[in-house]
Amino acid sequence: MWECAGCGQEEASRRKLDGVCHHCGLLLCSECRIVLIDSAFSGPMIDVNRTAVHCRDCWRQHHVTGVPLGRSTPK
């Protein structure tokens, strides 16, 4: 059974795993994922969706100054 790396809840429970941290590859539910605009997805060929999913640890390590989208305060 798959489980969220953030909260440990199994996918078959209340939450659906709908994110993968783009730094470490951990599976995350919608409650634990942090979505923000990531400069890794910028450049002349990219102009649509520059958002990326992050786990809490990778957000802190790589983007602590970034403002999360759709989540007020990462836990």
pLDDT confidence of residue 24: 94
Query: CA–CA separation, 62 vs 66, rounded Å?
Result: 9
Q: What is the pTM of this model?
A: 0.70
Go through the domains of the chain in sequence order and give each one's CATH number.
Answer: 1-75 (3.30.40)
Question: What confidence tens digit (pLDDT) does each residue in 37-70 have?
Answer: 776 666 666 556 678 899 999 988 887 765 555 5
Answer for the pair 52, 22: CB distance below 8 angstroms, yes or no: yes
Q: Which residue has the tokens 């634990």?
A: 32
Tell me the pairing of strands 17-20 and 27-29: antiparallel
